[in-house]
Structure 1
Amino acid sequence: MATPLFGLIPTGHPLIAEPSSTPSPTSCLYALPTTKPFTHVTILLLPNVTLPPQTAAAIYVATASTVASGNPNFKFLGGIGPGKESAMFKVGGGGEGDGLVIGIDVESEDEVGRRLQELAASKPNASGGQPPTVVLAQRIIQNAFNFLTSFSGTAGPGGVEVVPLKAFEDWWKKFESRVRADPSFLEKQAD
C-alpha cells in the first residue's frame, strides 16, 4: 500500500490518512490520538481509491499496548468496500489511558461478508437488543386480548360476543401502570 487508501476520523479529531505502520502489503495500522477522548471513529476509502476486485477492507481494533507487545488482540468491527465506502464504528473511550490502534486488512469480499454475518449474529438483534416493532405490537395486542376475554359475553339474538368498553378502559389503565413500573416488560416477554 504505497499510497494511502483509507482515512480515519476519530470524533473531534482531524483526518488521519497515513498509517502508523504497514505490516504487510494488504494491511495497515493506525495509532489513534490520545490527546482528547472520543468514542467513535469514521473510516473511509479516500477519494479516487478503489480496492482490487472481489475484495473489501476488514476493520479491527486493539489496544496500543497489545500491539506494542507483539501480541495484539484485534477485535473485528466491520468492513468497508464497494457500495459501502465509509462506516462509523464505536470504539469506546479512545484517547484515554492505553490508546487504540485500528487495523485495516484488505481481504476477500467473501471473508469480510462472512465476518459481518458472524458479527450480526453475535448481537441480540439489529435494534440493539429490543424486539422489532411488529413483535412489540403483537405482544400488546395479545396482552389486551387475554385481559378482555374474561369480560366477554353474548348479546343479541345472534349471540354476538361483546366486551364492555369499561373492560377496555380497565385494561388500558393496568397496561399503562405496568409500562410505567417496568418499561421493558414487553421486551422480556417470551414469544
Structure 2
Amino acid sequence: MASGFGLFFVGHTVPITHDNLTQVDPTHWVLDASVIPNYAAMREVALFLLPGSVLDPNAALGLYVRAGNAEWAYRGCVHNAQPSAVLPLQWPLAEDGSVVSAAVGGQSVQIGVSLEAAADIVARESSSVGAKAEFAKRVGLDLFRYLESFQTQNMGSHIVVPANALERWYTRFQEKFRRDPDFLTRNTASLNS
C-alpha cells in the first residue's frame, strides 16, 4: 500500500490512523475495540483513505468485525473511487441477543481492515446489497403485520385502518429500532410466520 487509511467511530472518537492498529501481515490490520469504553454503543464507523493516499487500482480496503474466535463479518469498503464511507458496525451478538461483551469470557471484539482485490470486494458488496434488500422487505412485512392487526372483519383483499396508522407504526418502529437495531434481522422465524 502506497499510503495509509484511518477510521473513527462516528460521534465517539477522533480519527485513528493505520499506525494505531496492529498490523498482522502486509495486508491486514486489527483494532481491539473492547479497549474503547462503551464500544457496544457505537453504531457506525467511518473508514477513509488518508489525504494523498492512493490504492492500487485493482485493490480496495474492506472493513470487518468479529467477537472472540468467530468468523470475520464484512461491513463495507473504500477504494480510490470511494475514498471514504460510513459503515454500520452491527456488533456480533451473544446467544441471548445482546451485543457480545468483552467482559464475558474475556472475548475480544475486533475491527479488521484488509487490503483485498477489488473483484473480491465487489462480490461482497453485491451480497451486502442483497442483505439490504432483505432488510427492506422485513421492514415492509413489519408494517404490513402492524396494519393487518387493525383488521376486525373480513373485507376480502382490503384492510381498513385508522387514518394515523402509518404514523403510529413509524413511531413504534423508531422506538423498537432505537432500543434494538437488529430486531428485524435477529428473529427471522417470527417474521415469516
Pairwise same-fold verdict (TM > 0.5): yes
Matched residues, number? 148
Alignment of 1:176 onto 2:162: yes
Partner of 1:34: 36
Q: Once the 2 structures are TM-superposed, how far is the Cα of residue 29 of structure 1 from its aligned partner? A: 1.4
Q: Once the 2 structures are TM-superposed, how far is the Cα of residue 127 of structure 1 from its aligned partner? A: 4.3
Mapped partners of 1:2, 1:78: distance in 2 = 21
AA paired with 1:49?
Answer: S
Q: 1:77 to 1:129 in 2, by over 3 A?
A: same
Mapped partners of 2:73, 2:44: distance in 1 = 15
Q: Deviations over 1:106-149 (max 9, x none)?
A: 11111100111012213344747445xxxx9xxxxxxxxxx8xx
Alignment of 1:49 onto 2:78: no
Judge conservation of contact 1:19–1:28 (CA < 8 Å) in 2.
no
Partner of 1:8: 7
Q: Deviations over 1:136-180 (max 9, x none)?
A: 9xxxxxxxxxx8xxxxxxxxxxxxxxxxxxxxxxx99x4435936
Aligned residues with identical type, % of pairs: 19
Q: 1:88 to 1:96 in 2, by over 3 A?
A: farther
Q: 1:182 to 1:81 in 2, by over 3 A?
A: same
Judge conservation of contact 2:47–2:77 (CA < 8 Å) in 1.
no
Partner of 1:151: none
Mapped partners of 1:84, 1:94: distance in 2 = 31
For 2:162, what is the secondary structure of its paired residue? Answer: helix
Mapped partners of 1:34, 1:84: distance in 2 = 27
Q: Mapping of 1:90-105 within 5 angstroms?
A: 90-91=88-89, 92=91, 97=103, 98-105=107-114
List runs of 5+ in structure 2 lacking aligned partners: 92-98, 145-154, 171-193
Q: CA RMSD in A?
A: 4.2
Mapped partners of 1:42, 1:94: distance in 2 = 21
Q: Deviations over 1:74-132 (max 9, x none)?
A: 1011111122111122224699645532111111111100111012213344747445x
Q: Mapping of 1:13-162 within 5 angstroms?
A: 13-17=13-17, 18-32=19-33, 33-37=35-39, 38-63=42-67, 66=68, 71-91=69-89, 92=91, 97=103, 98-125=107-134, 127=136, 129-131=138-140
Q: 1:96 to 1:90 in 2, by over 3 A?
A: farther
Structure number with the higher strand fraction is 1
Instruction: Please report the TM-score for the alignment, with normalisation by the length of structure 2.
Output: 0.58
Mapped partners of 1:77, 1:106: distance in 2 = 14
Q: 1:180 to 1:128 in 2, by over 3 A?
A: closer
Instruction: Please report the TM-score for the alignment, with normalisation by the length of structure 1.
Output: 0.59
Judge conservation of contact 1:34–1:94 (CA < 8 Å) in 2.
no
